[in-house]
Structure 1
Amino acid sequence: MSGILIATLLATASAKIPAGLSGGEVLYSDCGGSRQFVVGYAAGWLDKWNSDEYLARRIFIEAHPSPSRMVNSAHFAIAVGVNVCIPEGTTAEAVGKTLCTFLEENPGIREATGDELMTTMAHYKYRCPIP
């Protein structure tokens, strides 16, 4: 029994999806179908973005006022997209649909990675209001 478990784990570990597979062309190819891949990708990106935003806020709250921490916090905040405000209650399905529309309207950027596309789309479609 343990041999089967080890073989399954090794097969799973060796079957990782290459990073390039989640590019714009692959995401867009799912837009005309079930959209399960696009919605799953959007859900994963949103989870990661929310986690990064939480960590960035925590760094600012708990950081002692030292120049190196402030610089590191600023770089981290820029990296996670400070000017992105996804409305509360927005579903992964809605974000996936928005991503599909964005990819359809901008075919020239489909060679980018999924993360770059999601970040760009979120920056343009879910921009924070200016106070």
Structure 2
Amino acid sequence: MPGILIATLLATVSAKAPMEYASGDLLFSDCGGSRQFVTGYVSGWLDKWNRDEFLARRAFADAIHRPEAMVNFARLGNGIGMNICLPPGTTAIVIGDMLCRFLQDNPDVRGGEGDELLMTVISRHYNCRAQ
């Protein structure tokens, strides 16, 4: 019984450990190994992007009857300025490889946040305007 109590306590403490954002340095450190962290990070980023896009489209559709809300969404879209078009069959592994190449070729940006670095890589390769 004491073993279960200790295990539960340790699991609770470790689950509440602070999580830091992934930096380019952290992502690059995995590029020379299994790349499981990089692939997982890219997968999570893409899932979030898809969810955010879905919510934005739904909110925009709900705002059609309110012109002031449509103006606000247009300003938000222009402010973000990011429109990606991933071709069918594009995988997190492929994008992770591109991210690792980018970090290899640009060591001066590795101190940046992983989110911004990944956005840069994806927007360069999969910008809807370029296709």
TM-score (norm 2): 0.81
Distance 2:43 2:79 in 1: 19
Give the paired residue count: 128
User: What corresponds to 1:18 in structure 2?
Assistant: 20
Q: CA RMSD in A?
A: 2.5
Q: Which stretch shows the higher mean deviation, 94-103 or 72-81?
A: 72-81
Q: Distance in 2 between matches of 1:54 and 1:47?
A: 11
Where in structure 2 are there 5+ consecutive unaligned residues?
A: none
Letter in 2 for 1:33: G
8 Å contact 1:84–1:126 — kept in the other structure? Answer: yes
Which residue identity lines up with residue 110 of structure 1 in the other structure? R
Counterpart of 1:66 in structure 2 is 67
C-alpha contact 2:24 2:113 (8 A) present in aligned 1: yes
Match status 1:90 vs 2:101: no
Q: Percent identity?
A: 48
In structure 1, the gaps of 5 or more residues are none
> Residues 81, 52 of structure 1: CA spacing in aligned structure 2 closer, same or farther, 3 A cutoff?
farther
The answer on whether the counterparts of 1:25 and 1:110 sit within 8 Å (CA) in structure 2 is: yes
2:82 touches 2:123 (CA, 8 Å); kept in 1?
no
Q: Which has the larger radius of gyration?
A: 2
